[in-house]
């Protein structure tokens, strides 16, 4: 065991030096304590180890320390070594200025701040349009209607097959100018391209709300022959896609094989309460339905939107949500009034449910929603793009989150 030295013995040892040496030693110690540490000299391996433990918000702060840290962080998150752990989602919100078509803005629930990605035009043209998000990736259409997967954090982009086969007899220029921004209403990934090189993309497209699919190695989109009345939402889990039809039935698609196949159709009974609610909201209201997997259950969420609510701020506004759970044995939708520790995230994104005990920044038994009214946003960003907030399922109240 090493001998411990008291402060007095250490001082005595130092004073054993000749007087000139003592002055030099004293000056050296003072310089060591008063000089600022050079954080940029830390080894890159150590910095990458730190980065692997940080959330997105923390990595943004990490990058602000110095140019060296920024360069190492950007290189690390765009590499195959980076595997982000599940964390609180960011909400895609409208840009601060109406004519800003070159930026994407995200609201972080973790620290309640808006983060902006600028100069998107350098990669996608002057009028980039986001039509969905899944697994931390955005499905982007550039100004020529070419589809891309884009990771806003790592800046990695992946070009997808052209949409030309969807245009049918429509002129390309007309498609780009008039149809591009609301042609695809939902897009989900079968898996995260950062972790799985055999990812695929499923979309709801066209005025008939049909399904189409493209694989990572595919050169074109494959239209899936399913419901004749169209679809309102799709979610994916373990290469199984659950598609919600416009009459609130469910189709189960298996994507394990090269060609997807429909394994099952579920036609649950519609409860009287849902019918009455839909009838009461007719006329000056519209509705949108979502499908969510939550703690092993399939949930149907009805979103009721009032039109011409507030002409000065937002002419349409979400007023109410109703939640139903699929009872497999009885083949019916059963109303749910408590999500317990879960919170739902709905909008143009891959509909999801997260536990408030495992993630920070949001409240349990709540629904966080963003604006997915593509038609209105395409017509006028002052008219659309602002219907987002939080709905409490406990007291049935809406709250702004920005």
The DSSP call for residue 92 is: E
Whole-prediction pTM: 0.82
* Segment of 3-12, 17-26, 43-52 carrying the highest mean pLDDT: 43-52
pLDDT digits (tens, 9 = 90+) for 56-107: 888 888 988 999 999 999 888 878 777 777 788 888 887 766 556 667 788 8
- In angstroms, the Cα distances linking 301 to 30, 53, 334 are 66, 34, 11
* Strands of 397-399's sheet in order across: 352-355, 342-346, 366-369, 389-392, 397-399
- Radius of gyration for the alpha carbons in the chain, expressed in angstroms and rounded: 27
In this prediction, residue 180 carries a pLDDT of 83
Overall average pLDDT of the 216-238 stretch: 85
In this prediction, residue 374 carries a pLDDT of 66
In this prediction, residue 121 carries a pLDDT of 59
Overall average pLDDT of the 124-147 stretch: 87
How many Å apart are CA 288 and CA 321, to the nearest integer? 10
In this prediction, residue 254 carries a pLDDT of 94
In this prediction, residue 20 carries a pLDDT of 47
pLDDT for 298 beyond 60:
yes
Handedness of CA 91, 208, 205, 173 (dihedral sign): negative
Residue 239 in tokens? 């290469």
State what percent of residues in the chain have pLDDT above 70. Answer: 83
Closest CA to 348 of 237, 206, 223, 182: 182
**What average pLDDT is seen over the chain?**
82
Give the model's confidence band at 246: pLDDT under 50 very low, under 70 low, under 90 confident, else very high.
Answer: very high
* Segment of 184-198, 205-219, 270-284, 324-338 carrying the highest mean pLDDT: 324-338
Element (H, E) at 29: helix 19-34
Closest CA to 350 of 126, 143, 190: 190
In this prediction, residue 232 carries a pLDDT of 94
Residue 291 CB coordination number (10 Å): 22
> Which residues, 6+ apart, have CB-to-CB distance to 23 below 8 Å?
none
- In angstroms, the Cα distances linking 371 to 93, 121, 236, 368, 387 are 8, 23, 21, 11, 5
Question: Are the C-beta atoms of 157 and 209 separated by less than 8 Å?
Answer: no
Question: Are the C-beta atoms of 256 and 236 separated by less than 8 Å?
Answer: no
The DSSP call for residue 163 is: S
pLDDT for 253 beyond 80:
yes
Handedness of CA 366, 370, 374, 379 (dihedral sign): positive
pLDDT digits (tens, 9 = 90+) for 379-395: 555 555 678 899 999 99
Overall average pLDDT of the 106-111 stretch: 87
pLDDT for 133 beyond 50:
yes
Question: Are the C-beta atoms of 347 and 323 separated by less than 8 Å?
Answer: no
Closest CA to 393 of 340, 332, 333: 340
Overall average pLDDT of the 178-203 stretch: 88
Structure-model confidence comparison of residues 327 and 206, the more confident one: 327
How many Å apart are CA 89 and CA 354, to the nearest integer? 9
Give me the architecture of the 127-267 domain, per CATH.
7 Propeller (2.130)
- In angstroms, the Cα distances linking 401 to 55, 187, 298 are 21, 25, 26
Question: Are the C-beta atoms of 343 and 366 separated by less than 8 Å?
Answer: yes
Question: Residue 105: helix, strand or coil by DSSP?
Answer: strand
Give the model's confidence band at 214: pLDDT under 50 very low, under 70 low, under 90 confident, else very high.
Answer: very high
DSSP per-residue codes, 315-326: EEEEEEEEEEEE
Alpha helices in 84-232 (DSSP H): 121-124, 172-174
> Which residues, 6+ apart, have CB-to-CB distance to 173 below 8 Å?
none
Place of tokens 């042609």: 183
In this prediction, residue 173 carries a pLDDT of 84
In this prediction, residue 386 carries a pLDDT of 78
How many Å apart are CA 280 and CA 277, to the nearest integer? 5
The DSSP call for residue 41 is: G
Give the model's confidence band at 300: pLDDT under 50 very low, under 70 low, under 90 confident, else very high.
Answer: very high
Overall average pLDDT of the 172-181 stretch: 81
List the domain boundaries for the chain.
Answer: 41-78, 127-267, 269-401
How many Å apart are CA 384 and CA 94, to the nearest integer? 9
Question: Are the C-beta atoms of 102 and 118 separated by less than 8 Å?
Answer: yes
How many Å apart are CA 252 and CA 262, to the nearest integer? 6
């Amino acid at each position: 065991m090493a001998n411990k030295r008291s402060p007095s013995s250490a001082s005595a040892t130092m004073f054993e030096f000749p007087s000139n040496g003592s002055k030099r030693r004293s000056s050296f110690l003072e310089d060591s304590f008063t000089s600022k540490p050079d954080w940029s000299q830390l080894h890159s391996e150590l910095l990458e180890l730190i980065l692997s433990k940080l959330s997105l918000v923390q990595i943004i702060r990490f990058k602000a320390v110095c140019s060296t840290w920024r360069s190492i962080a950007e290189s690390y998150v765009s590499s195959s070594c980076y595997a982000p752990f599940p964390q609180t989602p960011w909400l895609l919100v409208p840009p601060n200025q109406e004519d800003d078509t070159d930026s994407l803005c995200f609201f972080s629930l973790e620290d309640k701040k808006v983060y902006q990605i600028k100069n998107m035009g350098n990669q996608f043209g002057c009028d980039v349009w986001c039509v969905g998000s899944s697994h931390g990736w955005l499905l982007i259409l550039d100004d020529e209607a070419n589809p891309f997967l884009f990771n806003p954090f790592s800046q990695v982009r992946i070009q997808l097959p052209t949409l030309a086969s969807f245009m049918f007899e429509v002129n390309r220029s007309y498609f780009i100018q008039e149809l591009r921004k609301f042609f695809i209403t939902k897009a989900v990934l079968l898996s995260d391209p950062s972790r799985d090189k055999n990812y695929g993309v499923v979309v709801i497209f066209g005025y008939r709300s049909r399904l189409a699919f493209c694989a990572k190695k595919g050169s074109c989109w494959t239209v899936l022959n399913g419901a004749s009345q169209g679809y309102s939402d799709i979610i994916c889990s373990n290469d199984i896609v659950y598609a919600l039809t416009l009459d609130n039935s469910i189709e189960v698609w298996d994507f394990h094989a090269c060609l997807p196949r429909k394994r099952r159709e579920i036609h649950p009974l519609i409860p009287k309460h849902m019918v009455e609610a839909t009838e009461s909201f007719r006329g000056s209201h519209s509705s949108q339905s979502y499908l969510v997997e939550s703690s092993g259950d399939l949930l149907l969420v009805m979103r009721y939107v009032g039109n011409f609510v507030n002409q000065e701020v937002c002419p349409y506004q979400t007023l109410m949500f109703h939640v139903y759970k699929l009872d497999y044995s009885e083949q019916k939708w059963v109303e749910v009034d408590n999500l317990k520790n879960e919170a739902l995230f709905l909008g143009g994104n891959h509909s999801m449910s997260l536990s408030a005990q495992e993630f920070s920044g949001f409240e349990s038994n709540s629904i966080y929603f963003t604006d997915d009214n593509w038609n209105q946003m395409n017509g006028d960003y002052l008219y659309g793009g602002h219907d987002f907030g939080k709905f409490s399922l406990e007291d049935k109240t809406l709250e702004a989150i920005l």
